[in-house]
Structure 1
Amino acid sequence: MTLDLEDVQAIRRLKHEYCFTIDGGEYEAWAGLFTEDGRFIRDSGETFEGHDELYGFASEGFDDAFEHSAHMVTNPVIDGVDESDDAAATGQWYLLLFYRRSDGDVGWTQARYDDRFREVDGEWRIAEVDLTYGVTRAD
């Protein structure tokens, strides 16, 4: 599948909404950016699938881990894929996550997202997020 500029822009906006909603504590909206069967996979193999599990991961895990966070994604590489696949597009991004924990510690993490996207009822949605952690620095 060849993506046109509108598709690429819609996918970029979707990823930016992903960052803003999780940082803003809008976990229901964050989970709603995924397809019904959407998955979030950490490089440890831990997987959260479907809106309920995604919401639980965000609302429980994120609030426990961070008092404040700021996800920043860069260097997007967005491509269309053969529609016989379960996704219509892929995206690669670098993540730089700045955070403050509830104990006051501050730090940052660098990681990489390998994403899959699918169009549902004319709207792009995240089918899968595969997160690979790189470097972390904390004070």
Structure 2
Amino acid sequence: MPEARLTELTTSDRVEIQELIAEYTHYEDNGDAAAWAALYTADGRFVGSGNKLIVGRDQLEEFARSRWNDKPKVRKWTHWANNIVIRPTAEGAEATSYQMVVETNGDTNHIVKVSGKVDELRRENGRWRFYERKVMHLPAE
């Protein structure tokens, strides 16, 4: 069996992946379920902090829509993604990052949670998309 070769990532690839991660947080924070789900491949997968697996754009969109409609507290949240590390893989790329969720109440802000993300990324129709996004708990210090 031939050895899998790592994909070469250009500067343009890295910028597009960084923008993909940024778009994700903007759509999530604005309740745009369709745009959020469109950031995934057609067979994309999301594994949230409860380890529930959601597969496919239709189910991803429904998940995002339900979250926005059924949990009003998320409308006060802003997600901050940072410390993004992108590495090539045989299938495309992997990105790891940290995320902080800040809740705004009037003039007061407080951190709701901090987590990590592990992303498996692939090109689909010439664009980088999430094939799988996993929420990871960060170790306590």
TM-score of the pair, normalised by structure 1: 0.84
Q: Distance in 2 between matches of 1:121 and 1:52?
A: 18
The Cα of 1:56 is off from its aligned counterpart by 1.3
1:81 aligns with 2:89: yes
CA 1:96–1:112: 2 relative to 1, 3 Å:
same
Question: Where does structure 2 lack aligned partners over 5 or more consecutive residues?
Answer: 1-6
The superposition leaves residues 43-77 of structure 1 with CA deviations (integer Å, 9 ceiling, x where unpaired) of: 43201111111111111123322232211101011
- Percent of counterpart pairs with the same letter? 28
The structure with more radius of gyration: 2
**Paired residue for 2:103?**
99
Q: Give 3-state SS (helix, strand or coil) of 2:12's partner.
A: helix
Task: Check whether the contact 1:109–1:133 (CA below 8 A) recurs between aligned residues.
Answer: no
Aligned length: 128
Question: Where does structure 1 lack aligned partners over 5 or more consecutive residues?
Answer: none
The superposition leaves residues 27-52 of structure 1 with CA deviations (integer Å, 9 ceiling, x where unpaired) of: 10000010000010024320111111
1:14 aligns with 2:23: no
Q: Distance in 2 between matches of 1:63 and 1:131?
A: 21
Q: Distance in 1 between matches of 2:45 and 2:104?
A: 26
**Paired residue for 1:64?**
70
**Paired residue for 2:112?**
108
